């Protein structure tokens, strides 16, 4: 007897770290988009069997920090025609749309490329609430993967005003209202307070956690602590995602340490921490060095903190950030074209092309510092692979990063091409650690799923989404991870040997925390005073989501 629509992945070498499965041979059964128990009746046959003997089976990859949709990503696409003609061409086929690559691929190309690499979920890390509708429209044109985004709120006027007036209940309600209105996934802080100062004066920024933000009389420390507290009280699946102040500046490691301390033991995620781990004198590139060791010690000792790396790769890319003053700084360093846009009441944005060169001491240090982070955090469940696509490099570099982590000879070979002085300024050469396949499975899928509170992703247990990647083992791990043998998304085989076989649009993951509805009238009063669009036209309704998937708060974990 054949059970319709059932797929069996037979005899694969399975890596499912959440369930302690570390390279054991198992069968996996799939029905209606989910992983199911094998049928009790041994005569039941699947409608399709994938012979995975000798192949490695993992959950689909999860990119928890990238820039793939919304206003600033699209501006970057428009701004960089020059890199598309020399980039890989993506002609249309009978089942796929055409697209363009370069450092900021078009929407369809983004979806196809993630899927072809075995990634089935991705989160855009910085969407201004006013541009949320735009991000959702692009998501509908970004196929093959599930998507969500983080909502910029570290410079939001209502957030700062609630902190200034010491109204934590209003802050909490506002965060929940804003996430619900935008159909967003998590609160994002980008250079908290600093972007507001940038909007108000020439080259404006905050210098550290205790600088007062003009007009609002709050400090970055208060914003970080206040939002972290409110978001943890709301029990959001991913409470707060923090891009620290002073990104890229020599000596910024102290700001990063202070930011982690400001969380006061609450759950918080520090993103692209590579860019925030620099020693040296203020603004002095000659004294630039790695401070991963002391920062990693702090992370190792404080289980409330998780990080992703923001690995830099050598080559040309586009820097894009919600950190307006950083965009200004980078445009002056590199001298190229520069885009900046300030969004009323909410956020900023900066975009400029950059090129990371292995002959540059600063750039090669940035590269080494990223790798130090992967290798010095002891618990792989708390460090996540990212390039902060496209800031450090493309998401397409993940297979190469895996090779750096699993092959110390390879990473030392690359290190040898960098300026010698790097050896005095970073500990990378001395680190012997090599990642295992199981650890790779953690930092690319099981870990981010856990950090994001996605109970149906990042593992292969019964009930999980059938997002599965099957790899052909290879000594060169870059080759192994570049071209999966099979990728299954929501129970459908969408990729074989790196080629798209079928497409789907994917789900939008968002949150809907409950909040004190009485605060809404206060929010409305503030909104109508200063916004340039109407209150009723601001929230994004469900019709913009092709397939909505509400991720429950962590509160719902307890009754079970």
Q: What b/e sequence results for 528-543 when a residue is b if at least 16 CB atoms lie within 10 Å of its CB, and e otherwise?
A: eeeeeeeeeebebeee
Which residues in the 418-437 window bind other proteins by CB under 8 A? none
Q: Are 378 and 394 in contact (CB under 8 A)?
A: no
Question: 40: how many CB neighbours lie within 10 A of its CB?
Answer: 6
State in angstroms the smallest separation of the CB of 181 from other proteins.
13
Region 86-125 residues binding other proteins, contact defined as CB under 8 A = 89-92, 94-100, 102, 104-109
Dihedrals phi, psi of 54, to nearest 5 degrees: 85, -5
Q: How far is the CB of 41 from other proteins (least distance, A)?
A: 33
Binding residue for other proteins, selected from 41, 537, 558, 560, defined by CB under 8 A? 537
58, 224, 345, 451: residue in contact with other proteins (rule CB under 8 A): 345
Query: Phi and psi at residue 293, in whole multiples of 5°?
Result: -60, -55
Residue 498 CB, nearest distance to other proteins (Å)? Answer: 18
Angle at 217 between CA 213 and CA 222, to 5 degrees: 80
Question: Per CB under 8 A, which region of 223-231, 295-303, 311-319, 503-511 contacts other proteins?
Answer: 503-511
Considering only 2, 200, 417, 556, the residue that binds other proteins (CB under 8 A) is: 200
- Closest CB 147 distance from other proteins, rounded Å: 14
Measured from the CB atom, is 285 or 342 closer to other proteins? Answer: 342
Number of residues counted as binding other proteins (CB under 8 A): 76
Q: Pick the piece of the chain touching other proteins (CB under 8 A) from 80-88, 114-122, 232-240, 297-305.
A: 80-88
Three-state SS at 476: coil
DSSP secondary structure letters along 409-459: HHHHHHHTTS-TTHHHH-SGGG------HHHHHIIIIIHHHHHHT-TTSSS
Q: Which residues, other chains included, contact 296 with Cβ-Cβ below 8 Å and sequence gap of 6+?
A: 372, 373, 376, 377
Least distance (Å) between residue 92 CB and other proteins: 5
Contact region with other proteins (CB under 8 A), list: 82-90, 169-177, 443-451, 475-483? 82-90
Which of 450, 402, 458, 384 lies closest to 59 in space, CA to CA? 458
Contact 497, 483 (CB under 8 A): yes
Of 207-246, binders to other proteins (CB under 8 A) are 215
Name which position in 6, 11, 74, 444 contacts other proteins (CB under 8 A). 74
Q: Least distance in Å: CB of 134 to other proteins?
A: 5
Q: Using the minimum distance from each CB to other proteins, give the nearer residue, 9 or 73.
A: 73
Q: How far is the CB of 132 from other proteins (least distance, A)?
A: 8
Q: How far is the CB of 203 from other proteins (least distance, A)?
A: 8
For other proteins, which stretch binds (CB under 8 A), given 244-252, 305-313, 340-348, 420-428?
340-348
CA-nearest of 488, 486, 448, 453 to 467 is 488
Among 137, 297, 316, 496, binds other proteins (CB under 8 A): 137
Longest Cα–Cα distance in the chain = 74
For residues 127 and 349, give the distance between their C-alpha atoms in angstroms, rounded to a whole number: 10
**Minimum gap (Å) between residue 541 Cβ and other proteins:** 7
Q: Which of 34, 261, 492, 546 binds other proteins (CB under 8 A)?
A: 546
Question: Least distance from C-beta 471 to other proteins, angstroms?
Answer: 27
8 Å CB contact between 508 and 70: no
165 near other proteins, rule: CB under 8 A: no
Comparison of 102 and 194: residue with beta carbon closer to other proteins: 102
Q: How far apart, in whole angstroms, are the C-alpha atoms of residue 334 and residue 288?
A: 18
Which residue among 544, 549, 550, 552 contacts other proteins (CB under 8 A)?
544
Residue 452 or 488 having the CB closest to other proteins: 488
Taken in order 391, 397, 399, 405, is the CA torsion positive or negative? negative
Q: Which of 21, 262, 292, 351 binds other proteins (CB under 8 A)?
A: 351
- DSSP notation for 205-266: ---STTPPBTTTTB-HHHHHHHHHHHHHHTT-SS--EEE-SSTT-TTTHHHHHHHHHHTTTS
Q: Which of 259, 318 has the CB closer to other proteins?
A: 318
Q: Binding residue for other proteins (CB under 8 A) from 164, 235, 493, 505?
A: 505
Q: How far is CA 303 from CA 93, 267, 381, 382, in A?
A: 47, 8, 10, 8
Q: Does 79 bind other proteins (CB under 8 A)?
A: yes
Distance CA 111, CA 108 (A): 5
- Pick between residue 364 and residue 391 the one whose CB is nearest to other proteins: 391
Task: Single out the residue of 22, 27, 140, 496 in contact with other proteins (rule: CB under 8 A).
Answer: 140
Residue whose tokens read 């820039």: 67
What's the closest the beta carbon of residue 334 comes to other proteins, in angstroms? Answer: 12
CB nearer other proteins, residue 76 or residue 234: 76
User: Least Å distance between CB 115 and other proteins?
Assistant: 14
- Of residues 318-337, those binding other proteins (CB under 8 A): 328, 331, 336-337
Would you say 215 or 378 has its CB closer to other proteins? Answer: 215
List, in order, residues 6 or more apart from 386 with CB less than 8 Å away. Answer: 63, 64, 65, 66, 271, 272, 308, 309, 310, 311, 392
Residue whose CB is less far from other proteins, 55 or 79: 79
Alpha-carbon distance of 485 to 445, in angstroms, equals 18
């Amino acid at each position: 007897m054949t059970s319709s629509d059932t797929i069996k992945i037979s005899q694969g070498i399975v890596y499912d770290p959440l369930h302690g499965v570390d390279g054991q041979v198992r069968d996996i059964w799939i029905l209606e988009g989910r992983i199911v128990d094998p049928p009790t009746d041994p005569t039941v046959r699947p409608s399709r069997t994938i012979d995975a003997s000798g192949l490695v089976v993992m959950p689909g990859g999860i990119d928890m920090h990238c820039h793939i949709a919304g206003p600033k990503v699209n501006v970057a696409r428009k701004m960089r025609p020059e890199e598309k003609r020399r980039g890989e061409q993506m002609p249309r086929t009978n089942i796929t749309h055409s697209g363009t690559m370069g450092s900021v691929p078009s929407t369809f190309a983004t979806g196809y490329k993630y899927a072809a690499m075995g990634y089935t979920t991705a989160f855009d890390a910085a969407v201004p609430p006013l541009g949320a509708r735009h991000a959702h429209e692009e998501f509908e044109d970004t196929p093959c993967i599930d998507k969500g985004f983080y909502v910029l709120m570290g410079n939001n006027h209502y957030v700062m005003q609630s902190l200034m007036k010491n109204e934590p209940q209003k802050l909490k309600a506002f965060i929940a209202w804003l996430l619900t209105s935008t159909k967003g996934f998590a609160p994002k802080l980008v250079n908290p307070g600093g972007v507001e100062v940038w909007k108000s004066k020439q080259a404006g920024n905050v210098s550290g956690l205790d600088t007062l933000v003009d007009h609002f009389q709050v400090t970055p420390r208060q914003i970080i602590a206040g939002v972290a507290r409110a978001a943890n009280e709301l029990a959001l699946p991913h409470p707060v995602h923090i891009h620290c102040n002073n990104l890229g500046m020599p000596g910024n490691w102290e700001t990063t340490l202070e930011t982690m301390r400001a969380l006061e033991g609450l759950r918080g995620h520090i993103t692209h921490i590579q860019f925030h781990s620099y020693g040296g004198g203020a603004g002095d590139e000659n004294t630039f060095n790695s401070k991963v060791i002391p920062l990693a010690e702090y992370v190792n000792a404080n289980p409330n903190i998780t990080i992703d790396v923001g690995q830099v790769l050598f080559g040309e890319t586009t820097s894009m950030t919600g950190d307006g003053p950083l965009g200004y700084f980078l445009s002056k360093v590199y001298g190229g074209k520069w885009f900046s846009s300030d969004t009323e009441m909410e956020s900023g944005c900066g975009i400029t092309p950059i090129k990371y060169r292995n002959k540059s001491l600063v750039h090669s240090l940035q590269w080494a510092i990223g790798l130090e982070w992967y290798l010095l955090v002891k618990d792989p469940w708390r460090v996540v692979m990212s390039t902060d696509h496209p800031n450090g490099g493309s998401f397409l570099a993940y297979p190469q990063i895996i090779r750096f982590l699993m092959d110390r000879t390879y990473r030392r070979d690359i290190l040898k091409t960098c300026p010698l002085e790097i050896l005095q300024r970073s500990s990378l050469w001395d680190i012997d650690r090599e990642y295992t396949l199981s650890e790779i499975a953690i930092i690319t899928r099981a870990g981010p799923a856990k950090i994001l509170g996605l109970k149906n992703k990042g593992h292969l247990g019964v009930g999980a989404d059938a997002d599965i990647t099957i790899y052909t083992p290879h000594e060169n791990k870059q080759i192994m991870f570049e071209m999966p043998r099979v990728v299954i998304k929501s129970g459908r085989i969408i990729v074989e040997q790196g080629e798209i076989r079928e497409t789907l649009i994917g789900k939008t993951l968002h949150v809907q925390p409950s909040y004190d509805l009485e605060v809404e009238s206060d929010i409305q009063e503030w909104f109508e005073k200063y916004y340039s669009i109407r209150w009723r036209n601001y929230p994004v309704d469900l019709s913009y989501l092709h397939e909505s998937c509400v991720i429950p708060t962590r509160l719902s974990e307890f009754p079970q």
